[in-house]
């Protein structure tokens, strides 16, 4: 086992560090299948997207991004809730099933019920030949390689990468952007491996230091707006999964409708900012938290105007809103990892969790 960890103390840390390479592999693997999936989506009726856990956060991101890039409505739902959505589906509709393992029973049940209603099924998985990919009409894949750590890391950032490309292709097939713009986007996505490498080296010390604060707290909020929301949700999930610190991800604007009641001096609140034009509103949310004595932490891109507004920050090396979701995920993964290690837990084997959930 120690050989397979290649010198890293845990698989999770190894897998975080593998991200630049496997994101590159995923980009290299953008095949004709992605084009077929996107052209199907562009000409479909309703689009639904379903997944569980981390894969759901990637799905929510796809829904938000596709609305922005292609002006297409994508209805995201958590797979175990499929009964509430399946009766809305018709023959012209498409379901996108997202699952790194391709074996999650909730997602498979959602897939089957939409398929029975005549919907076309597109899947995004990391495992060729997995049941979800076999049962879908159009399987596409990320190329993250096997993920051993129970907490999804590299499979999430490769899902984001794959779904950014899929969304851009939908925008092309709906006529929103032309071929030149599509290749320009591809060029931007291709910068991710290098930027991810730089983000990791920038975040290591920061995450180690801040994990000392986070690991001693009972509760942490992760707030974001727009494309920042799925990343905030993912940051919170990682922390609670492996460091057993209660963490909630919330839309920043919604925090004053309840969650703020818990905030007292020293309560950590992590702000994830992706979209420049939402920063003005995020300032208000930061101030609300600071007024209650919160310890504010920012995850920002270059050129963010929020840098001086928070107590602690990490700035990832880009200001490109298409790339920030992947890059801003990395410091959140490392923060959760070091918080778990600081508390003496094994981040690879969190209690009560299985890598693949095969019971409904
Ligand atoms: C992620 O860290 C979790 N362990 C979990 O939420 C996971 O994402 C979920 O069970 C879905 O798995 P899948 O992607 O294999 O379908």
Tell me the pTM. 0.97
269 lines ligand 1 (CB under 6 A): no
Residue 259 Cα distances to 32, 44, 123, 219, 263, angstroms: 45, 38, 35, 11, 8
Query: What does the pLDDT read at residue 3?
Result: 67
Interface predicted TM-score (ipTM) of this complex, two decimals: 0.98
Residue (of 22, 70, 21, 19) closest to 44 by Cα position: 70
54 lines ligand 1 (CB under 6 A): yes
356 lines ligand 1 (CB under 6 A): yes
Instruction: Please write the tens of the pLDDT for every residue from 231-263.
Output: 999 999 999 999 999 999 999 999 999 889 999
Whose CA is closest to atom 16 on ligand 1?
99
Whose CA is closest to atom 13 on ligand 1?
99
Whose CA is closest to atom 2 on ligand 1?
151
Please give the structure tokens belonging to residue 207.
Answer: 């995450």
Q: How far apart are CA 23 and CA 155, in angstroms?
A: 9
Instruction: Please write the tens of the pLDDT for every residue from 108-164.
Output: 999 999 999 999 999 999 999 999 999 999 999 999 999 999 899 999 999 999 999
Q: How far apart are CA 116 and CA 119, in angstroms?
A: 7
């Amino acid at each position: 086992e120690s050989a397979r960890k290649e010198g890293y103390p845990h698989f999770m840390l190894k897998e975080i560090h593998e991200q630049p390479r496997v994101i590159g592999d995923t980009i290299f693997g953008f095949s004709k299948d992605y084009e077929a999936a996107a052209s199907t989506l562009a000409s479909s009726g309703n689009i639904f997207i379903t997944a569980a856990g981390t894969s759901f956060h990637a799905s929510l991101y796809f829904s938000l991004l596709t609305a922005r890039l292609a002006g297409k409505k994508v209805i995201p739902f958590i797979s175990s809730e499929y009964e509430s959505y399946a009766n809305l589906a018709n023959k012209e509709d498409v379901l996108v099933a997202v699952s790194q393992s391709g074996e999650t029973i909730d997602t498979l049940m959602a897939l089957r019920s939409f398929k029975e209603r005549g919907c076309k099924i597109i899947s995004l998985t990391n495992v060729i030949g997995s049941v979800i990919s076999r049962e879908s009409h159009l399987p596409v894949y990320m190329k993250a390689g096997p993920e051993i750590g129970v907490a999804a890391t590299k499979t999430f950032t490769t899902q984001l990468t794959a779904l950014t490309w899929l969304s851009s292709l939908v925008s092309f097939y709906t006529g929103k952007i032309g071929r030149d713009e599509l290749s320009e986007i591809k060029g931007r996505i291709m910068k991710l491996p290098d930027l991810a490498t730089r983000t990791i080296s920038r975040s290591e010390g920061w995450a180690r230091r801040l994990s000392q604060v986070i690991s001693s707290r009972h509760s942490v909020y992760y707030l974001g707006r727009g494309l920042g929301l799925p990343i905030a949700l993912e940051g919170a999930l990682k922390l609670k999964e492996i460091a057993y610190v209660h963490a909630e991800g919330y839309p920043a604007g919604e925090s004053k409708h309840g969650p703020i009641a818990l905030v007292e001096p020293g309560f950590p609140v992590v702000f994830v900012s992706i979209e420049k034009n939402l920063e003005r509103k995020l300032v208000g949310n930061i101030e609300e938290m600071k007024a209650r004595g919160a310890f504010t932490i920012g995850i920002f891109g270059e050129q963010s105007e929020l840098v001086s507004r928070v107590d602690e920050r990490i700035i990832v090396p880009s200001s490109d809103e298409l790339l920030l979701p992947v890059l801003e995920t990395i410091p959140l993964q490392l923060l959760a990892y070091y918080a778990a290690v600081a508390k003496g837990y094994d981040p690879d084997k969190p209690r009560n969790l299985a890598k693949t959930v095969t019971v409904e």
